[in-house]
Structure 1
Amino acid sequence: MTEVTLSAGVVEYGDTGGDGPVVVLLHGVAMDGSLWRHVVPGLRSDFRCVVPMLPLGAHRRPMRPDADLTVLGVAHLVAEFLDALDLRDVTLVMSDWGGAQALVAEGRDQRIGRLVITSCEAFDNFPPGLPGRNLYTAAKLPGGLRLAFALLRLRPMRRLPLTWGWMSKRPVPHDVMDAWFRPLWTSAAIRRDLRAYVLGVPPRDELLAWAEALRTFDRPALVVWAAEDKVMPLAHGRRLTDMLPQGELVEIADSFTLIPEDQPQRLCEAVRSFVPLP
């Protein structure tokens, strides 16, 4: 892992290097870049894959106490990350976390050449579905996040619908999930960061405005959605495709939200077909 100092704090990231087209892969809440561990090997021979560890709960370096870690604040941090690394004509890939859609609405998308939107938050589905509502409730209660993630030390709890059971059809390996949750188990500052994010969802009108702004994105966009998603409705993927002027839709069978876990090969193929090589 390499690191870069941004306005909110130190952000770690993985970077395969190389001269190929740049693909930046974004993970969701309470997970880290290892979400892409089955996808990056299928891309790195031809693409430069950059995987930042966003401050969404699995990060190991707490952000500054005064950092803006609302949904919009983290989206701005993504734009700042692209600036800091001087990444250009980026293919931005988002999974689970949909906040990067705000970059278009905020006019912070100049470095983005292509969008790949896999099953993620959209429209007013923030926080998303049953797991998101459960997390939001925990964040509102004193000590709620500590208790919620302490319960996830019990492995059977991880496959319940209100935790991770609806996020992937195939269980994420326990050692991977242990690494995701360990910062939340051990650091009050990391729990503080996650709480700021979970409670920092803007009003419904603003969320819908972010989606509406995608009509102005005049570059290629690929929507890759899990056909059996129980958290991010398939109808949202189809609506996003219709809104994007150059939108294409690929529906992935036999997968829940975390397509990089359930169908990484299919996702690799979709990205490779979408991003032209020099």
Structure 2
Amino acid sequence: MAVVELAAGPVAYEDTGGPGPVVVLGHGPPMDSRVWRKVVPLLPGFRVITPTLPLGGHRMPLRPDADLTQRGTARLLGDFLDALDLTDVTLVLNDWGGGQFLINEGRTERVGRLVLAACEAFDNFPPGPAKALGVVARMPGGMWLLLQLFRVRAFRRMPGGYGGMSVAGIPDDLLVDWFRPATRDRRVRRDFARFARGAPPRDQLLRLAAGWGAFTRPVLVVWAAQDRLMPADHGPRLAALYPDARLEVVEGSSTLLGEDQPELFARLLAEFAARPDVRAS
């Protein structure tokens, strides 16, 4: 695993170094690049980069003054693309949809295509059950207490939370490992809490979302038919919002499309990422 030093701190990533177009796969909290472990081997013709974003599953804490609000994390993602000097990137957002705020920040010059795969959108930051996380993160000691609850398997597997993010089911040892860094390192826990309480209020979210149509390059919206966290109508709404977008609805999957339908998702992604770079004038 490689590490790049950004202004906000270190970010670890894996890079297949493949010969083809660049695909950057994002993830949600508190996950890491392993959420794509089934998909990456199915993209041999691409250069696939999987950063571990500072959403609570990262193992190297960021600087104490790092901006980990939703928009701050989007800017960090933009800094990551800059640091690796990536161009014509197919950027995939799954679960965490905050990468769309790059549009509001005017930071999409390196993004040739955007894949919105069962991710947060509009006023769904964070999605339903996860809204309590932002409340807990504002309470002294609240994040530490919540992480203790995740030591209990029944709590981890609740269908309204992580237990409902995959039809197939997230392997429990992997889920435990995703929560381990924030459980053991108070600095990572600090980062996780800053991200958890960093969503803008609803009215601001909707104003920001109204600006996403400024991204005129190709967009693929992949929505999961059995998703408990991302509203079913958000897929069609996103496809209608972006000027050059199409919608695919995947059966037999919840939020983590790469966990439930890796072959189908890899095929859709490969076909889309291989499109020529058509830039708006």
Q: Give the TM-score taking structure 2 as reference length.
A: 0.95
Determine the C-alpha separation between the residues in 2 that align with 1:168 and 1:197.
Answer: 23
Give the 5 Å matches for 1:114-125: 114-125=113-124
8 Å CA contact 1:39, 1:265 repeated in 2: yes
CA contact (8 A) 1:55 1:193 kept: yes
Cα distance in 2 between the residues matched to 1:250 and 1:17: 28
Contact 1:104 / 1:210 at 8 angstroms: preserved in 2?
Answer: no
Question: 1:191 corresponds to which residue?
Answer: 189
Give how far 1:181 is off.
0.8
Structure 2: how far apart are the matches of 1:136 and 1:203? Answer: 12
Q: Is the 8 A contact 1:227 1:252 kept in 2?
A: yes
Aligned-pair distance for 1:139?
1.1
Cα deviation for residue 64 of structure 1 reads 0.5
Q: What are the superposed Cα offsets for residues 140-194 of structure 1, whole Å, 9 maximum, x if unpaired?
A: 2222211212211222222213431221122211221122111011011111101
Amino acid at match of 2:140: P
Q: Percent of aligned positions with the same letter in both sequences?
A: 51
Q: Name 2:12's counterpart in structure 1.
A: 12
Match of 1:26 in 2: 26
Match of 1:251 among 246, 249, 252: 249
1-side partners of 2:221 and 2:273: how far apart? 13
Match for residue 111 of structure 1?
A: 110
Which amino acid letter does the alignment assign opposite residue 192 of structure 1?
R
Displacement, 1:20?
A: 0.6
- What are the residue-to-residue correspondences of 1:108-147 with 2, within 5 Å? 108-130=107-129, 132-147=130-145
Shift of 1:91: 0.1
**1:25-58 C-alpha deviation (Å, 9 max, x unpaired):** 0010111110000010101x10000011100000
Q: Unmatched 5+ residue regions in structure 2?
A: 277-281
AA at the equivalent of 2:106 = G
Q: Which ranges in structure 1 are unaligned for 5 or more consecutive residues?
A: none
Checking the alignment, whether the CA contact within 8 Å between 2:163 and 2:170 is kept in structure 1 is no
Q: Distance in 2 between matches of 1:162 and 1:253?
A: 19
Residue aligning to 1:92: 91
Aligned length: 276
- TM-score, normalised to structure 1, is 0.96
Q: Say whether the 8 Å CA contact 2:135–2:197 is kept in structure 1.
A: no
Q: Aligned Cα RMSD in Å? A: 1.3
Structure 1 CA distance, aligned partners of 2:205 and 2:108?
Answer: 17
